[in-house]
C-alpha cells in the first residue's frame, strides 16, 4: 500500500529546540495553568474536587540543579495527570529569599570585588544590592522552571519576602507572641563566628575531622579526672558531673573546690546527673554551661552559674596574656602546654570527631549564650478551631504534640513510610526553635522598643521614638507558612477556602525537618489543620557511579544543558526512571540519550500512523482481533492509573515506555504493515480506526511525562483544544 501525503512537520526528524519554547508559549497564552480558566472554558466542572501542590520555592541564590529538575518533573507529572482527570488543579510557583545563603553570596562578591564588608556599606545599601541579585536570580530560575515544562499557575506566583508574605509573617509572629509561644530569652544558640549570626540545629553540617582527646585533672588536689577535646573551654567550668550510680565518685558528690586553672580562678562543684554516661571516658564530665547546650540544661537543673569565656569571634574573653583575646584554637595549645608543664595531663589520644560547621559559610559553630527570639515547642496553647483528628477546639496542646499527632493519626502520610520513625525521633528531641538571625536580609523581627517599653505589632508604630529590633527571622519561619500564606492568609480568601489543605508536598528527604515539620507546626497552630495530606520525599540525584554531584568531582549534569542538547522530555524521563520515593537515583548522559531516542521513536510512530490513517473514520467498528488489543491497552491504562494514584510514578513511566516501544511499535505496528499489504478491506479499515484511536490515547497517557513532543503531535492531528486539557477518562 502506498503512503498518503505526509504532514510537512512529520517529514523531518523531531526537533526539540524548534518545538519546546513555542509549545510552552501556547500553554501560557491559553491560560490553562490557572484552574479558574479551566472552569470558565468548560474543561473542569465548577464543583470539581481540587488538587493542590505548592512548589517548594527554589532559593534565589543561583540556578536550578538536578534535584530541582527531579522535583519539577515529579510535580508536573502529578499535576498534568490530575488536570486531565478533571480535577480543579492548582500548582502554585514561587521562590525563596533564603536569607543567610543569599546575603552570604552577595557579601562574598562585594568583599572579593571591592574589599568591603556589609558594615562598610550600611544596611540600606547592602539590602539594595542583595535585592538586585535576588531579582536577577529569580528571573533566571523562572525561565529555567518554564524550560522544564512546568505547568504551574504563574498568575499566583509568590516570593517568601514579598509584601503579602511579610504581612502573613508579622501576623503569625504576633499571634504566637500573644499566646506565649514566642519569647525572647537568654539561651545557648548555635553561633556562626564567620557569618556572625545564629543558625538552626538543622543548618549545621557535621564534618568528620581528626581531633585530640585530652584526659587531665584541674589541679593536683582535685580528685577526679575528666576528658575533653576542648580544654580551652574549661576556664568556664562550674561543675563536674558524674552519674548518681557510679560508685567511684559517690563520696565526692556535693563537694566544692576552688582552683586556679591556667591562670583563671574557677569554682567547681561535683554534681550527680543521670545525663552522664558513666561508661564513657572517665565517667566524669566537666560542665561548661555557657558553651554547651547539654551543659546549659544541666546547669539549669542544678542551679549552676553560667560563665561565658568565648566571644562572638571565637576568641577567649578571660585569662592572662597566655590566652586572653586569642582564638580558641590558639588558646587550646596554650592550655595543653600548661597542663603538661604542671604534670596534670594524664593522656592524649587522637580520635575522629564530628565537627559542627555552618552550612552556608563553613564556619565552625560555637555554642554561645545569646539573647534571642525563640518558639516554645513545649508550652501548651489553646487550639482555636481544630480540624485535626483527635484534637478538639478549645483543647490545650503543645506544638510538639500537634506535630506528632497529625502523622500518628494518619492525616498526613509520609512516603516512603519508614520516614515516619525518623520524623517522630526528631520531634522527641526537638528543642525550642531559635528564630532570630543577626543578618540584614529577610523579614525583620516585628518588635519595637522605646526605653523599657516593647511593642509587638504587624505594622510600624506611628509614634516617634520607637526602634525596631535589628534582627531578621529565620528563613524557615516564613517558609513554614508557605502553604497558606501563598493563598492570601491572613485574609479569608476564596483560594484559601478551596485549595487548602493542599494535597501533596513533594520535596527532598533532606529537608524533612528543615521545612516539612515546620510547615506542619505552623499550619497546625495558625489554622488548626494540616498543610498537606501526603508528603512525597524524593531522593538525591547521583551520577552513573552513584556519587553525589559536585563541582570538585566535575560530575554534575545541568538540567538546562540536558534540555538544550536532548530536550526537556528526555531529561524528564531520564529523571523519573528509577526514582522511587525516598530512594537516591542515578542519571548519566547515556540515560538521557536513551530517552531522546524514545522521543524520536514516538515521533516516528506518529508519522507511520498519521500517514496510514489520514481521513480515517475512527467510529468504524473494530474486528475481534483489534478489539482484543484495544481491551488490553485499556486494562493497561487502568493499571497505570492505580500506580499513579499511589504516587508510583517511576513504575508508570517505565511501563508506558515498555508498552509504547516494545508492544505498540515493535509488535502492533509491524503487524499493521502486514495487514496494510496483505489484509482485506475490512481488516484494513478496522486496523486504521484502531491505530488512529490508539495514537491519540497513547499521546494522552504519555503527556504528563513527556508534555512537549506529545502536545506537538496532538497539534499535527488537528484535534480540538490542547492535549493538556484532554480527559484521561476518555480512554476506555
Q: How far apart are CA 669 and CA 660, in angstroms?
A: 10
Contact 563, 147 (CB under 8 A): yes
> pLDDT grade, residue 10 (50/70/90)?
confident
Local structure of 197: helix, strand or coil: strand
Which range, of 17-21, 660-664, 708-712, averages the lowest pLDDT?
A: 17-21
The per-residue b/e assignment along 442-469, b for 16 or more CB within 10 angstroms, e otherwise, is bbbbbbbeeeeeeebebeeeeeeebeeb
Q: Given this model, what pLDDT does residue 552 score? A: 65
Mean pLDDT of 563-584: 93
Query: At residue 206, does pLDDT exceed 80?
Result: yes
Assigned CATH for 14-160+475-561: 3.40.50.620
> pLDDT grade, residue 695 (50/70/90)?
very high
Instruction: State if pTM tops 0.85.
Output: yes
Q: How many CA atoms lie within 13 A of 49 on its CB side?
A: 6
Query: At residue 332, does pLDDT exceed 50?
Result: yes
What grid cell was written down for 528? 488548626
Query: At residue 368, does pLDDT exceed 70?
Result: yes
Query: At residue 4, does pLDDT exceed 60?
Result: no
Assigned CATH for 588-730: 1.10.730.10
Q: How many CA atoms lie within 13 A of 46 on its CB side?
A: 1
* CA angle, residues 344, 347, 352, in degrees to nearest 5: 135
> pLDDT grade, residue 18 (50/70/90)?
confident
Q: Given this model, what pLDDT does residue 2 score? A: 44
Query: At residue 3, does pLDDT exceed 50?
Result: no
Mean pLDDT of 436-463: 95
CATH topology of 202-368 equal to that of 588-730? no
Structural Rg of the chain based on CA atoms: 31
Q: What is the pLDDT of residues 596-631, one digit of tens each?
A: 999 999 999 999 999 998 777 888 899 999 999 999
Which range, of 200-204, 380-384, 396-400, 711-715, averages the lowest pLDDT?
A: 200-204
Question: Dmax of the chain from CA atoms?
Answer: 109
Q: Is the four-CA dihedral 704, 705, 707, 709 of positive or negative sign?
A: negative
Polymer length in residues for the chain: 732
Q: Is 393 left (phi over 0), alpha (psi -120 to 50) or beta?
A: beta
Contacts of 722 (CB under 8 A, 6+ apart): 26, 27, 30, 32, 711, 714
Q: What is the DSSP letter of 388?
A: S
Which range, of 10-19, 303-312, 552-561, averages the lowest pLDDT?
A: 552-561
Q: What is the pLDDT of residues 516-546, one digit of tens each?
A: 999 999 999 999 999 999 999 998 888 778 8
Between 618 and 499, the higher pLDDT residue: 499
Q: What is the pLDDT of residues 115-139, one digit of tens each?
A: 998 999 999 999 999 999 999 999 9
Query: At residue 5, does pLDDT exceed 70?
Result: no
Q: What is the DSSP string of 469-489?
A: -S-EE-HHHHHTTHHHHTTTT
**Whether domain 202-368 has CATH 3.90.740.10:** yes
Residue 52: what are its φ and ψ, rounded to 5°? -125, 135
Query: At residue 434, does pLDDT exceed 90?
Result: yes
Report the candidate in 415, 393, 412, 394 with the shortest Cα–Cα distance to residue 403. 412
670 vs 399, 617, 677, 689, CA distance in Å? 63, 22, 11, 16
Q: Given this model, what pLDDT does residue 1 score? A: 40
pLDDT above 70 covers a percentage of the chain that reads 99
Query: At residue 340, does pLDDT exceed 90?
Result: yes
571 vs 149, 427, 575, 590, 689, CA distance in Å? 11, 37, 6, 11, 33
Q: What is the pLDDT of residues 143-186, one digit of tens each?
A: 999 999 999 999 999 999 999 999 999 999 999 999 999 999 99
Q: What is the DSSP letter of 63?
A: -
> pLDDT grade, residue 99 (50/70/90)?
confident
Contacts of 30 (CB under 8 A, 6+ apart): 37, 722, 724
What grid cell was written down for 676? 496494510
Spell out the domain ranges in the chain: 14-160+475-561, 174-195+372-473, 202-368, 588-730
pLDDT above 90 covers a percentage of the chain that reads 83
Q: What is the pLDDT of residues 305-326, one digit of tens each?
A: 999 999 999 999 999 899 999 9
Local structure of 646: helix, strand or coil: coil
Which range, of 354-358, 498-502, 648-652, averages the lowest pLDDT?
A: 354-358
Local structure of 507: helix, strand or coil: strand
Query: At residue 644, does pLDDT exceed 90?
Result: yes
Packing angle between helix 16-30 and helix 707-716, nearest 10 degrees?
80
HEC string for 162-227:
CHHHHHHHHHHHHHHHHCCCEEEEEEEEEEECCCCEEECHHHEEEEEEEEEEEEECCCCCCCCCEE
CATH of 174-195+372-473, one of 3.40.50.1970, 3.40.50.620, 3.40.50.300, 2.40.128.50: 3.40.50.620
Amino acid at each position: 500500500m502506498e503512503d498518503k501525503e505526509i504532514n510537512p512537520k512529520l517529514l523531518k526528524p523531531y526537533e526539540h529546540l524548534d518545538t519546546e519554547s513555542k509549545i510552552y508559549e501556547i500553554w501560557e497564552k491559553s491560560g490553562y495553568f490557572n484552574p479558574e480558566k479551566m472552569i470558565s472554558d468548560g474543561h473542569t466542572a465548577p464543583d470539581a474536587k481540587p488538587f493542590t501542590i505548592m512548589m517548594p520555592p527554589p532559593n534565589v541564590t543561583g540556578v536550578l540543579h538536578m534535584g530541582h529538575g527531579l522535583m519539577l518533573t515529579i510535580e508536573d507529572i502529578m499535576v498534568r495527570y490530575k488536570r486531565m482527570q478533571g480535577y480543579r488543579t492548582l500548582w502554585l510557583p514561587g521562590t525563596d529569599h533564603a536569607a543567610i545563603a543569599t546575603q552570604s553570596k552577595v557579601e562574598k562578591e562585594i568583599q572579593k570585588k571591592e574589599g568591603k564588608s556589609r558594615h562598610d556599606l550600611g544596611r540600606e545599601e547592602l539590602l539594595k544590592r542583595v535585592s538586585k541579585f535576588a531579582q536577577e536570580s529569580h528571573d533566571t530560575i523562572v525561565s529555567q522552571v518554564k524550560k522544564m515544562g512546568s505547568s504551574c499557575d504563574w498568575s499566583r506566583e509568590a516570593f517568601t519576602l514579598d509584601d503579602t508574605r511579610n504581612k502573613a509573617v508579622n501576623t503569625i509572629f504576633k499571634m504566637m507572641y500573644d499566646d506565649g509561644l514566642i519569647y525572647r530569652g537568654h539561651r545557648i544558640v548555635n553561633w556562626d563566628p564567620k557569618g556572625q549570626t545564629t543558625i538552626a540545629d538543622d543548618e549545621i553540617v557535621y564534618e568528620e575531622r581528626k581531633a585530640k582527646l585530652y584526659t587531665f585533672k584541674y589541679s593536683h588536689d582535685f580528685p577526679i579526672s575528666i576528658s575533653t577535646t576542648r580544654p580551652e573551654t574549661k576556664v568556664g567550668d562550674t561543675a563536674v558531673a558524674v552519674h548518681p550510680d557510679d560508685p567511684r565518685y559517690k563520696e565526692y558528690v556535693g563537694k566544692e573546690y576552688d582552683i586556679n586553672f591556667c591562670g583563671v580562678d574557677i569554682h567547681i562543684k561535683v554534681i550527680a546527673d543521670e545525663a552522664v554516661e558513666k561508661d564513657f571516658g572517665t565517667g566524669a564530665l566537666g560542665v561548661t554551661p555557657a558553651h554547651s547546650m547539654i551543659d546549659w540544661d544541666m546547669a539549669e537543673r542544678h542551679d549552676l552559674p553560667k560563665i561565658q569565656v568565648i566571644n562572638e569571634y571565637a576568641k577567649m574573653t578571660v585569662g592572662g596574656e597566655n590566652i586572653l583575646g586569642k582564638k580558641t584554637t590558639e588558646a587550646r595549645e596554650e592550655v595543653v602546654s600548661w597542663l603538661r608543664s604542671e604534670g596534670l595531663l594524664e593522656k592524649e589520644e587522637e580520635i575522629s570527631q564530628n565537627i559542627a560547621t555552618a552550612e552556608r559559610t563553613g564556619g565552625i559553630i560555637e555554642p554561645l549564650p545569646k539573647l534571642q527570639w525563640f518558639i516554645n515547642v513545649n508550652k501548651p496553647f489553646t487550639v482555636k478551631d481544630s480540624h485535626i483528628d483527635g484534637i478538639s477546639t478549645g483543647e490545650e496542646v503543645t506544638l510538639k504534640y500537634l506535630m506528632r499527632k497529625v502523622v500518628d493519626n494518619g492525616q498526613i502520610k509520609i512516603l516512603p513510610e519508614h520516614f515516619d520513625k525518623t520524623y517522630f525521633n526528631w520531634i522527641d528531641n526537638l528543642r525550642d526553635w531559635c528564630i532570630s538571625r543577626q543578618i540584614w536580609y529577610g523579614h525583620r523581627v516585628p518588635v519595637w522598643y522605646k526605653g523599657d517599653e516593647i511593642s509587638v505589632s504587624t505594622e510600624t508604630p506611628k509614634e516617634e521614638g520607637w526602634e525596631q529590633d535589628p534582627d531578621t527571622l529565620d528563613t524557615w519561619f516564613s517558609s513554614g507558612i508557605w502553604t497558606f500564606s501563598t493563598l492570601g492568609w491572613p485574609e479569608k480568601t476564596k483560594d484559601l477556602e478551596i485549595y487548602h489543605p493542599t494535597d501533596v508536598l513533594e520535596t527532598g528527604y533532606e529537608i524533612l525537618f528543615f521545612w516539612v515539620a515546620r510547615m506542619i507546626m505552623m499550619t497546625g497552630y495558625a489554622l488548626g489543620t494540616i498543610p498537606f495530606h501526603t508528603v512525597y520525599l524524593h531522593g538525591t540525584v547521583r551520577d552513573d557511579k552513584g556519587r553525589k554531584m559536585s563541582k570538585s568531582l566535575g560530575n554534575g549534569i545541568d538540567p538546562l544543558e540536558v534540555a538544550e542538547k536532548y530536550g526537556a522530555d528526555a531529561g524528564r524521563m531520564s529523571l523519573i526512571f528509577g526514582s522511587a520515593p525516598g530512594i537516591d537515583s542515578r542519571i548519566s548522559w547515556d540515560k538521557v540519550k536513551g530517552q531522546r531516542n524514545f522521543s524520536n521513536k514516538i515521533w516516528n510512530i506518529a508519522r507511520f500512523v498519521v500517514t496510514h490513517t489520514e481521513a480515517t473514520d475512527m467510529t468504524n467498528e473494530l474486528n475481534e482481533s483489534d478489539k482484543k488489543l484495544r481491551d488490553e491497552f485499556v486494562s493497561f491504562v487502568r493499571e497505570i492509573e492505580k500506580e499513579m494514584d499511589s504516587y508510583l510514578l517511576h513504575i508508570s513511566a517505565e511501563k508506558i515506555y515498555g508498552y509504547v516501544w516494545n508492544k505498540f511499535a515493535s509488535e502492533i505496528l509491524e503487524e499493521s504493515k502486514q495487514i496494510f499489504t496483505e489484509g482485506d478491506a475490512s481488516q484494513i479499515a478496522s486496523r486504521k480506526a484502531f491505530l488512529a484511536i490508539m495514537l491519540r490515547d497513547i499521546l494522552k497517557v504519555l503527556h504528563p511525562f513527556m508534555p512537549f513532543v506529545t502536545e506537538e503531535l496532538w497539534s499535527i492531528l488537528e484535534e480540538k483544544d490542547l492535549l493538556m486539557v484532554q480527559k484521561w477518562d476518555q480512554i476506555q
